[in-house]
Amino acid sequence: MQPFAYARPATLSEAISLLAEHGSGASLLAGGTDLVVALRNRTLTPKVVIDLKRVAELRPGIRGDGGAITINATTVLADVGEDQRVQARFPALVDAAATVGSIQIRNRATLTGNICHASPAADTAPPLLVYGAVVNVAGARGTRRVNLEEFFIGPGTTSLQSGELVTSIELPAAEERLGAAFARITRRRGVDLATVSVCCLVAASGRTTFAYGAAAPRPFIVRDESGVLADPATGDAAKDEVLKQLLTRASPISDVRGSRDYRAAMLLVLSRRLLHTSIERLRAA
Amino acid sequence: MAVKVPIHLTVNGSEMDVELAANMTLLDFLRDRLRLTGTKECCDLGECGACTVLVDGRSVNSCLALAVEADTSAITTIEGLARDGRLNVLQDAFLAAGAVQCGFCIPGHVMAAQHLLTKNPHPTMAEIREGLSGNLCRCGGYVQICEAVRAASAPR
């Protein structure tokens, strides 16, 4: 690791000033499970590392008012998965959070970091997308809200501007009954990145949403507003037609985890299974 | 924002003040500065769990943490489990079950199991396997390792 200075701001305004002062020479540190690997590999060589864990406004915490939930930036994945409100209202996020890395990683890595790293395979991205997550951003020019759908630009790239950071992630209250499920394919059970990941959400109105990870340069969301997928009268062949149409946006690559064709095939298989599970969960809801 | 950062922390019950370079990992601090070499360095990527220690009671890969992040924290390493020269229940269970082959992964496994049993004193075998899924054993001695954790968690 190359030498760098270490800053531990106590307030958000202090953190934003540091970020403005150092620009691209600064790296933000929360859980560090991605950052420290990049520092060691020297894929990142910052002049200063800004540790956000002491920033009062970003301290770990989950607030739930009404049906909505706000998850502060330094909240670790283990705490997201164990929160009873998240379990009750956003179970697919719990399923996904429980697959990230290992227990040791989840005790350290943050939900916000998982999103800001902007890996196409980020496990929590598909559930956050189907639940309509909103990212709260702060910078020298003030605060703004970004729909997660518009947050991911490409591998490793978000819509954060220079000098901005994420303060929290919001999950809006459900307006109707929902059934949702998440699954991914990996080569081994633990400590692996997703070969593909899928999250499905079926609403009582019949609206069906899918979000896909490791299937394109960024996680993406697609919707079936027709109600065909959620309709118990629709046959398997007709459902497959709709799923294949939704999956035309997928452009998986071939790499060490799987070939393009394998990924495409598994996207369809997981979509079928998760549609089934989501409908069952909606019935039970 | 000096490159050397003063921190205050507790390691295995001993409080200390140290000045550290920001680019030193918690693992290197424990092994190279404190000579607590029970914590092992292996993949340096957070994939094998050999460097697992407890930070404020939670299992963490010490290779993925900067030492300066541990300011004000309490760290427990494998050396911190014994009391008055006696191994703790979990360590004894590893010996009794013959869970140690080459031994390299064992400190990490024990620390991960320690965290598991603190959160869930009587885990099922499935929960034990899940609880240890962040730790690799290249000897492949998982059956005995899981059996040791089950024995340590049995009501007595």
| DSSP string computed for B28-86 | HIIIIIS--TTSPP--SSSSS-TTEEEETTEEEEGGGSBGGGGTT-EEE-GGGS-BTTB
For chain A, state the CA radius of gyration. Answer: 19
* Residue B3 to residue A48, Cβ atoms within 8 A: no
Query: B86-100, pLDDT tens digit by residue?
Result: 999 999 999 999 999
What's the rounded Cα separation, in Å, for the pair A70 and A73? Answer: 9
Could you give all domains of chain B from N- to C-terminal order, each with its CATH number? 4-79 (3.10.20.30), 89-153 (1.10.150.120)
Q: What is the pLDDT of residue A193?
A: 87
Asked casually if ipTM beats, i.e. exceeds, 0.90, the reply is yes
What's the rounded Cα separation, in Å, for the pair A174 and A282? Answer: 13
Indicate the residue of A1, A8, A51 with minimum beta-carbon distance to B23: A1
How would you class A194 by CB atoms within 10 Å of its CB: exposed for 0-12, middle for 13-18, buried for 19 or more? buried
Which stretches within chain A are classed as H helix?
12-22, 35-41, 77-82, 84-89, 91-97, 103-106, 111-116, 125-130, 148-151, 236-246, 260-284
Contact A19, A165 (CB under 8 A): yes
Residue B54's closest CA among A40, A74, A103, A8?
A103
B interface with A, Cβ–Cβ below 8 Å: 1-3, 5, 21-25, 44-47, 49, 52, 58-61, 63-66, 68-69, 71, 112, 115-116, 131, 133-135
Query: A27-48, pLDDT tens digit by residue?
Result: 999 999 999 999 999 999 999 9
Give the gap in angstroms from C-alpha B47 to the nearest C-alpha of chain A: 6
pTM (2 decimals)?
0.95
Q: What is the bridge-based pairing of β-strands A62-65 and A26-29?
A: unpaired
Domain A5-53 belongs in CATH node 3.30.43.10: yes
Domain A178-284 belongs in CATH node 3.40.50.300: no
pLDDT surpasses 60 at B2:
no
Domain A61-171 adopts which CATH fold?
3.30.465
Residue A66 sits at φ, ψ, to 5 deg, of 60, -130
Domain residue spans in chain A? Answer: 5-53, 61-171, 178-284
Indicate the residue of B1, B64, B71 with minimum beta-carbon distance to A108: B64
